[in-house]
C-alpha cells in the first residue's frame, strides 16, 4: 500500500505552499518455516503422520500453508519414497517451501503362521505332506520347499528334511523345516506255512523252499537243517528258516520231517506153490525169488529150508515106521511091524 504525506505552510496573509511525500509499502519477503527440510526412514507397514510445519511472515499474521505429496517407487514393490512439500504463501504471493522426505523400506522378513510338525512313520505309510503358510507385514509371500533325504543305513529307513524358505517382495527371507523319520521296523512274512510232514523213506524227505514278502521291499529266505537219522534212515530232519528284509528285520519259522519206514519189502514174480510129490521123486530146487522195497533199492532175499516130518535115511527106498518092542526083555535096536 501507499502512504501519502502532505505538508502545507501558510503565512498571515493566507499565502500557502505544500509538499507531498508518497511512501509505497511493498511485501517482497517470503514467509519463513520453523525448521528445515528433513527425512524420515520408516518400515513399509508404518503409517507416518507429519505435523504441518509452522510458517511466519513479517507482514502476514496468518500464512497459508499447503502440501503436495509425490510418491516415487523404490527397488521393490514394498519400498517407495514420499516427498511431502509444504508451501507457505503470504497475502502478497510470496512463498517458501519445506520438504519432508519419507523413505519407506521393507527390512522385515516374513513370519511362518504354520509349519507342519515333525513325525515318525513306517516305511509303507502314506506320508502326510502338509504345506506351511507365512505372512508378511507388507505384501505377498512366496514359499519354496527344498527336500533333503538322508539314509539311516538301509533303503527303507531315512530322514526326510523339508526345508521351507519364505520370501517377500523385497527378498527378505525366513526359514523353517519339518523332519519326517521313516523307519522299517516290520519283519517280513512267509508266503507259505511251514508244515510238519511224515514220510517213510529218507529219499522222500524233501525240504520245501519257502518265500517271504516284506511290507516295504524284498526279503531273502535262508534255511538250515539238522538231521537225527539212524542207519536205516529213520529219524527226523528239523529245518529252520530265516526271512530277512533290506533293513535287517528277521522273521523265523521251522518244520520237522519225520522219517519212519513201516512198509515191508514185497516178493515179486511167480511165487512157488505148495506141491505133493511121490516119495521116490526128488524135491525140486528152490526157486530164486526177488523183492522190492518202497525205500531200499538193494533188497536181499534169503531162503531157509526146514525138513518137517518122518524122514527116511539117505539111501532108503521106502519110509518105514520104526518102533521099539513092548517086551521088557526084548528090546532090539529096531523092529518092523508087518
Q: What is the DSSP string of 241-262?
A: EEEEETT--EEEEEEEEEE---
Check residue 3 and give its pLDDT: 95
Q: Give first-to-last CA distance, the chain, whole Å.
A: 206
Confidence of residue 320 (pLDDT cuts 50, 70, 90): low
Q: Which residue has the cell 519364505?
A: 166
pLDDT higher than 60, residue 324: no
Report the candidate in 217, 201, 218, 260 with the shortest Cα–Cα distance to residue 235: 260
Least confident of 117-131, 244-258, 306-320: 306-320
Average the pLDDT over 85-111 and give the result: 96
Cβ-contact 286, 275 below 8 angstroms: no
Check residue 155 and give its pLDDT: 87
Check residue 333 and give its pLDDT: 61
Least confident of 19-28, 143-152, 317-326: 317-326
Higher-scoring residue by pLDDT: 315, 91: 91
pLDDT higher than 80, residue 279: no
Check residue 188 and give its pLDDT: 96
C-alpha cell read off for 42:
520408516
pLDDT higher than 90, residue 318: no
Check residue 280 and give its pLDDT: 72
Cβ-contact 214, 277 below 8 angstroms: no
Residues 6+ apart with CB under 8 A from 233: 201, 202, 259, 261, 295
What's the helix, strand, coil split of the chain in %, to 5? 0, 45, 55
Q: Are strands 141-154 and 133-135 parallel, antiparallel or unpaired?
A: unpaired
Cβ-contact 164, 143 below 8 angstroms: yes
Q: Which range, 238-242, 303-307, 320-324, is most confident? A: 238-242
Give the number of C-alpha atoms closer than 13 A to the C-alpha of residue 275, restricted to the C-beta side: 12
> 269 φ, ψ to 5°?
90, -165
Report the candidate in 88, 81, 89, 86 with the shortest Cα–Cα distance to residue 98: 86
Confidence of residue 327 (pLDDT cuts 50, 70, 90): low
pLDDT higher than 70, residue 323: no
Instruction: Please classify residue 327 by burial: count the beta carbons closer than 10 Å to its beta carbon, then call 0-12 exposed, 13-18 middle and 19+ buried.
Output: exposed
**CA-based diameter of the chain, in Å?**
247
pLDDT higher than 70, residue 334: no
Q: What is the average pLDDT score of the chain? A: 91
pLDDT in tens, 286-302: 888 999 999 988 889 99
Amino acid at each position: 500500500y501507499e502512504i501519502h504525506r502532505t505538508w502545507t505552510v501558510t503565512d498571515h496573509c493566507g499565502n500557502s505552499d505544500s509538499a507531498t511525500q508518497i511512501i509505497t509499502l511493498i511485501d517482497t519477503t517470503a514467509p519463513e518455516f520453523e525448521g528445515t527440510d528433513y527425512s524420515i526412514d520408516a518400515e513399509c507397514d508404518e503409517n507416518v503422520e507429519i505435523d504441518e510445519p509452522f510458517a511466519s511472515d513479517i507482514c502476514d499474521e496468518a500464512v497459508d500453508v499447503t502440501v503436495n505429496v509425490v510418491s516415487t517407487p523404490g527397488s521393490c514393490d514394498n519400498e517407495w519414497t514420499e516427498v511431502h512439500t509444504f508451501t507457505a504463501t503470504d497475502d502478497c504471493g510470496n512463498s517458501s517451501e519445506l520438504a519432508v522426505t519419507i523413505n519407506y523400506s521393507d527390512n522385515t522378513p516374513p513370519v511362518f503362521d504354520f509349519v507342519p510338525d515333525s513325525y515318525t512313520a513306517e516305511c509303507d505309510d502314506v506320508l502326510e505332506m502338509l504345506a506351511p503358510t507365512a505372512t508378511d507385514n507388507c505384501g505377498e509371500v512366496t514359499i519354496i520347499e527344498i527336500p533333503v533325504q538322508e539314509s539311516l543305513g538301509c533303503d527303507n529307513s531315512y530322514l526326510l528334511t523339508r526345508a521351507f524358505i519364505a520370501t517377500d517382495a523385497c527378498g527378505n527371507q525366513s526359514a523353517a523345516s519339518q523332519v519326517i523319520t521313516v523307519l522299517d521296523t516290520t519283519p517280513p512274512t512267509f508266503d507259505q506255512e511251514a508244515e510238519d510232514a511224515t514220510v517213510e523213506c529218507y529219499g522222500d524227505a524233501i525240504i520245501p523252499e519257502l518265500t517271504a514278502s516284506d511290507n516295504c521291499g524284498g526279503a531273502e529266505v535262508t534255511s538250515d537243517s539238522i538231521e537225527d537219522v539212524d542207519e536205516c534212515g529213520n529219524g527226523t530232519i528239523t529245518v529252520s528258516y530265516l526271512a530277512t528284509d533290506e533293513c535287517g528285520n528277521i522273521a523265523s519259522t521251522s518244520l520237522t520231517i519225520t522219517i519212519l519206514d513201516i512198509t515191508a519189502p514185497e516178493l515179486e514174480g511167480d511165487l512157488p506153490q505148495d506141491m505133493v510129490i511121490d516119495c521116490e521123486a526128488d524135491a525140486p530146487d528152490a526157486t530164486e525169488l526177488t523183492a522190492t522195497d518202497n525205500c531200499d533199492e538193494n533188497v536181499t532175499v534169503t531162503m531157509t529150508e526146514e525138513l518137517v516130518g518122518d524122514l527116511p535115511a539117505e539111501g532108503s527106498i521106502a519110509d518105514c515106521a520104526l518102533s521099539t518092542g513092548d517086551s521088557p526083555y526084548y528090546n532090539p535096536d529096531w523092529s518092523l511091524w508087518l
